Amino acid sequence: MQGKDLGFMALGAFSILLGSLLTSGFDFGQADPIGSLLTFFIAFFLIFIGGIFWIATTVNVIKEL
């Protein structure tokens, strides 16, 4: 495993952490609908990008084998 792979893994973990922190405070209640949708889409994007980073790390490690 190279340093690039460790960096991708750490960046993916950090991205998923931020997305889950945003999602944990998500409220469908009295909040303004535009703000709620924006928070939801940003959290979704962060978790999606984190997953892409982890998949890229997996592919790079498998190619090294």
Burial (Cβ within 10 Å: 0-12, 13-18, ≥19) of residue 32? exposed
Residue 41, domain extent: 3-64
Under a CB-based contact definition with an 8 Å cutoff, are residues 15 and 47 in contact? yes
Quick one: what percent of the chain has pLDDT higher than 70? Answer: 91
Structural domain total, the chain: 1
Q: What is the mean pLDDT of residues 45-51?
A: 97
> Nearest-CA neighbor of 6 among 63, 60, 64?
60
Q: Tens digits of per-residue pLDDT, 26-47?
A: 666 676 778 788 888 999 999 9
- Please give the pLDDT value at position 35: 79
> Nearest-CA neighbor of 23 among 48, 9, 49, 41?
41
Q: Tens digits of per-residue pLDDT, 21-31?
A: 988 876 666 76
User: Within 13 Å and on the Cβ side, how many CA atoms surround 14?
Assistant: 6
